[in-house]
Amino acid sequence: MNPDQDTIAAFSTPPGESGIAVMRLSGPDAAAICDRLFVPVSNTFPKPSQMKGYTLAPGTWAGIDDVVLSCFRAPCSYTGEDVYEISCHGGKAIREGVLASALSAGARAAGPGEYSRRAFLNGKLDLASAEAVMDLIEAQAEKQAKAAYRQLKGDLSNAVRIRADQLYAILAHLEMLLDWDEEEERDEDRITITSDLKEAESALQHLVSTFRSGRVVREGLHVVIAGNPNVGKSSLLNALSGRSRAIVSDIPGTTRDTVDIDVTLDGYLLHLTDTAGFSCETDDPIELEGIIRAGDALNEADIVLWVLSPPLPTHQDRRHQEERIKALVAQGIPVLLILGKDDLRPTLSSDDDPVLYAAERFPDFPMLAWSYKDPEALIRLKEKLVAFIEKGELDSSPDLPMAGAPEDQCLDAKKIETGAAAGDDFLRTATDANQTVAVVSERRLYLDENVGFLDETTEKELLREAGGTAKRDLLQDASSGRSTGSEVLITHERHKAAVDRALDLTSQAVSDLERGLSFDLVAITVREAISELSLITGDDVSETLIETIFSRFCIGK
């Protein structure tokens, strides 16, 4: 017998004690199995969409439990088959008794994902929507759940089918031209088809580009906090998580292993990892193992928060630190420099000032000044992380509050450089091509030599016109078109790979036309591109792929 014709049984609720547990029967014999299981309160089984109480008494006990039976007739059920759901009490013994009774009455234990597999085979869900079922179940954050629900409702499938329809129209045009054997291939037809293919190519490129944000929405953003010993990494982890998760101490080398914690931020899931400090001056084997693990964590990061805090490390450690940071950037891992313990800056010498050090050694890096005493700095950091998820890149402008100024007045600089135009201890910030603003030791704003220092009222007005706070650019960027808002996202590597292959084939078709290849060869390539897109929705998919996808599901789903 075809296993897809069996009547299957499994609990949809997860293991463990609960007030109610739900077992689902699906298949052609679901009603007959229920006949063997229950002593009904009345003489009739429930009609579709009705729920009735029964005593489950299969003959092994006088009665196992008083349950509620719900009926969903084919095709108006999740699987497209006759489905009966048995709601029983959620204790371990009751669950085992109910399932054993169903199996002894003729049901087969369902395999992983078998209900969703049947929903796909019976046309209730396409393949992308079926995959979204597990994403929705596993979602830990609001944005994860929303993305999964949109995929479940068919947003991705519709977007893919629109792209496929574009290619189908091009293929139909090619085949129509090929049917006219008496006609030679005309240049105007070649130009038209090439133009249409380039439009399809652009649309596929845009769809692929959503994967970076989509993957992070689905899997979470892996944020690794790194730096030398005793720079405040654990304090930063605790601040971001809102709990005392890592031990904080003035003793260098307190953190010996990675510390992981998951948090949600503005609806997004973040995986935070605190790491052991990198130091060249240790021969402690445990600390060295911690450094190795820290390096492994960095290689898996989506973004690294590298903490620079006073007192600055030795010149040897600085050199190794700079090499590590530049190696991360070379790997394509974004690095945000966190200039820690900013509350101490007014007391620091220039040799120990992390802002001056970062400006000299990492002039083009994004950076943010932070102190655990400054809640506004934490807010700005969280906003940068959200913007990174939504925009796919870090804002390269430093975010450095002016010491002694109100905390909401920050310069979101485009470039930082040291100099002496307004004294030795200053940062110069180019806000546009015609105006230079300097933050000097007196903590006032300095324009060029013709204007000099601004009075406090003018300074506040200038900042207000520029946007008011360090949040301004971030909020403006976010409101100008976030990729994770209403746009369809690719969240699975499988889907991205299929669109990538379709894109490559479409690009090949464009190249073939431009090189003068015949329409029949181009038609073959376009047909292959359509076939790749159909793998996402399951319109043309192998049994092996179906098995692979649904084997990842939980039993009962």
Query: pLDDT digit string (tens) for 129-143?
Result: 999 999 999 999 999
Half-sphere exposure at residue 54, Cβ-oriented, CA atoms within 13 angstroms: 27
Q: State residue 472's pLDDT score.
A: 35
* Mean residue pLDDT across the chain: 79
Residue 386 CA to its chain's centroid (Å): 11
Record: fold of 133-210+490-538: Four Helix Bundle (Hemerythrin (Met), subunit A) (1.20.120)
Reduced to 3 states (helix: H, G, I; strand: E, B; else coil), residue 216 is helix
299-336 pLDDT, tens per residue? 999 999 999 888 888 888 888 888 989 999 999 999 99
Instruction: Choose among 107, 219, 84: nearest CA to 496.
Output: 219
- Which whole-number Å values give the CA distances from 42 to 105, 166, 478, in the listed order? 21, 57, 60
Q: State residue 526's pLDDT score.
A: 96
Burial profile 404-430: b = 16 or more Cβ within 10 angstroms, e = fewer: ebebebbbbbeebebeeebeebbbbbe
Residue 67 CA to residue 445 CA, distance in Å, equals: 74
Q: State residue 131's pLDDT score.
A: 93
Quote the DSSP letter at residue 270. E
Burial of 33 (0-12, 13-18, 19+ CB in 10 A): buried
Q: State residue 3's pLDDT score.
A: 67
Q: Is the pLDDT of residue 416 over 60?
A: no
Residue 36 CA to residue 32 CA, distance in Å, equals: 7
H/E segment holding residue 436: strand 435-439
Strand partners, 400: 411
Strand partners, 477: none
Q: Inter-axis angle of helices 543-550 and 127-138, to 10 degrees?
A: 10
- Give all strands (DSSP E) within 183-286, no chain letters: 221-227, 259-265, 268-274
Half-sphere exposure at residue 368, Cβ-oriented, CA atoms within 13 angstroms: 26
Q: State residue 78's pLDDT score.
A: 93
200 within 8 A of 506, measured Cβ to Cβ = yes
> How wide is the angle at C-alpha 511 spanned by C-alphas 509 and 512, nearest 5°?
65
Residue 451 CA to residue 472 CA, distance in Å, equals: 26
Kindly report the length of the chain: 557
CATH architecture under which domain 216-404 falls: 3-Layer(aba) Sandwich (3.40)
pLDDT bin (cut points 50, 70, 90) of residue 252 is low
- If one compares 375 and 432, the residue with the highest pLDDT of the two is 375
- Which whole-number Å values give the CA distances from 302 to 216, 285, 386, in the listed order? 9, 28, 13
Residue 454 CA to residue 463 CA, distance in Å, equals: 11
Percent of the chain with pLDDT over 70: 74
- Amino acid letter, 344: L
Q: Is the pLDDT of residue 52 over 70?
A: no
- Amino acid letter, 465: E
Q: State residue 48's pLDDT score.
A: 64
- If one compares 480 and 7, the residue with the highest pLDDT of the two is 7
62-104 pLDDT, tens per residue? 678 888 888 999 999 999 999 999 999 999 999 999 999 999 9
Joined tokens for residue 56: 């489950």
**Helices (DSSP H) in 43-154: which residue ranges?**
92-104, 114-121, 127-138, 142-152
Superfamily classification of domain 3-126: Probable tRNA modification gtpase trme; domain 1 (3.30.1360.120)
Half-sphere exposure at residue 13, Cβ-oriented, CA atoms within 13 angstroms: 19
162-206 pLDDT, tens per residue? 999 999 999 999 988 887 755 677 888 899 999 999 999 999 999
Joined tokens for residue 506: 């479409």
pLDDT bin (cut points 50, 70, 90) of residue 120 is very high
Give the max Cα distance, the chain: 99
268 within 8 A of 389, measured Cβ to Cβ = yes
Instruction: Choose among 123, 181, 189, 114: nearest CA to 157.
Output: 123
Residue 428 CA to residue 447 CA, distance in Å, equals: 10
Residue 168 CA to residue 80 CA, distance in Å, equals: 30
CA torsion 100→101→105→108, rounded to 10°?
-30
Q: State residue 121's pLDDT score.
A: 93
CA torsion 428→434→435→436, rounded to 10°?
10
- For the chain, the distance separating the N- and C-terminal CA atoms, rounded to the nearest angstrom, is 23
Where does the chain hold its CATH 3.40.50.300 domain(s)? 216-404
pLDDT bin (cut points 50, 70, 90) of residue 348 is confident
Q: How much is the average pLDDT of 537-544?
A: 85
Where does the chain hold its CATH 3.30.1360.120 domain(s)? 3-126
Place of tokens 């075809």: 2
Residue 225 CA to residue 273 CA, distance in Å, equals: 6
DSSP string for 12-55:
SSPSS--SEEEEEEESTTHHHHHHHHEEESSSSPPPTT-EEEEE
